[in-house]
Structure 1
Amino acid sequence: MAVLLIGSPVLALCLFGVPRIASSDTSILGPELSFWRIPLIIGLYLTAFAFFVALYQAIKLLGLIDKNEAFSELSVRALTVIMTCAVIISIFYVAVLPLLYAVAEIEDAPGIIVIGLVILFASTVIAVFAAVLKKLFKHAIEIKSENDLTV
């Protein structure tokens, strides 16, 4: 349930927020940055896709934990995909921060930069956390296989 609640605001932004950026009448980019509209829309949808892939992998990982199969290769693969998606999102927002700065200057809204930084830092923390968990799970799998061989 929590994973669905996490994904619902992003889905709402994809359905209602991004089309607002796409429309030329009400675009928040203004005429000075209108040539960035299409690349920004493509990037936002790609990062939303990566976000939903990571959420799906999180659901799979939670299912493995429920079945007491947390320390398996499937969980390591799920963590790898989550880490990769978080890195993709981080890279996109690093590339988009100058554009967010320009929009903030035009609109006189510094909160836009803060939102971009929060998303960047959150996805970076998730990538680091997933990498640490992946390493721990691999180590636990090695210990488990050694113990299975000794018995």
Structure 2
Amino acid sequence: MVFAAVFAGSELFSHFTGRVAFFGGFPFTRFRLECQLQAYALTIGLYVSAISFIVLAVFAWQLLHLISQQLVFTAKTVQLFVALKWSCVGIQLGALTMLPGIYLVADRTDAPGVMAMGLIFYAVWLFMTVFFAILQRLWATAVAFKHVSNDSE
């Protein structure tokens, strides 16, 4: 979030008119409406990604707590993998929402690497989502196998 405040107050956004207006506590310059919409999309994407990341950190902490208690192969672990997967999806949606604003920055500064970094950020969380989906299915199978083997004994 500090990055968003520093980024919005940077030379890029104040270049257009030199004036900074505050809408909802976040600084934007007064320039064309389409640029403002992209700046809003960037802001919303940052907030969605940050909130989803905090939720992801809480669920990961709960998963580590279950591991330390040696309760790894339980239904609660599978539920945590589902929650981790959906938290990654939330970060993905935030990154997808930020892409128009990142495109604005890449276009105005003539730096195509900025757009590539935004796409890489999206791709990393896409990979993490697929990874957690695979882990969820594997863990559900392992829990079911453990449950069946415990019943047969």
Pairwise TM-score range, normalised by the shorter structure: 0.7 to 0.9
Q: Which has the higher helix share?
A: 1
Structure of greater Rg: 2
Structure 1 residues 46 and 92: CA distance shift in structure 2, 3 A: closer
How far does the alpha carbon of each residue in 1:98-151 deviate from its partner, in whole angstroms, 9 at most, with x for none?
432232011112221122112111101110110011001100111111111111
Equivalent residues of 2:45, 2:93 under 8 A apart: no
1:28 offset after TM fit, Å?
3.7
TM-score (norm. length: structure 1):
0.79
More moved, 83-92 vs 117-126? 83-92
Equivalent residues of 1:21, 1:41 under 8 A apart: no
1:36 maps to 38
Figure out how many residues of one structure are paired with residues of the other and give that number: 135
Structure 1 residue runs of 4 or more that deviate by more than 4 Å after TM superposition: none
Alignment partners' CA distance in 1, 2:99 and 2:40: 16
1:27 offset after TM fit, Å?
6.0
Which residue, 47, 50, 53 being the options, matches 1:48?
50
* Residue 19 in structure 1 maps to residue 11 in structure 2: no
TM-score (norm. length: structure 2):
0.78
Alignment partners' CA distance in 1, 2:127 and 2:49: 16
Partner-residue secondary structure (3-state), 1:55: helix
Alignment partners' CA distance in 1, 2:12 and 2:65: 41
What amino acid maps onto 1:148 in structure 2? N
Partner-residue secondary structure (3-state), 2:71: coil
Unaligned ranges ≥5, structure 2: 17-30
1:20 offset after TM fit, Å?
2.4
**Percentage identity across aligned positions?**
27
Structure 1 residues 106 and 58: CA distance shift in structure 2, 3 A: same
Partner-residue secondary structure (3-state), 1:129: helix
1:124 maps to 126
CA RMSD of aligned residues (A): 1.9
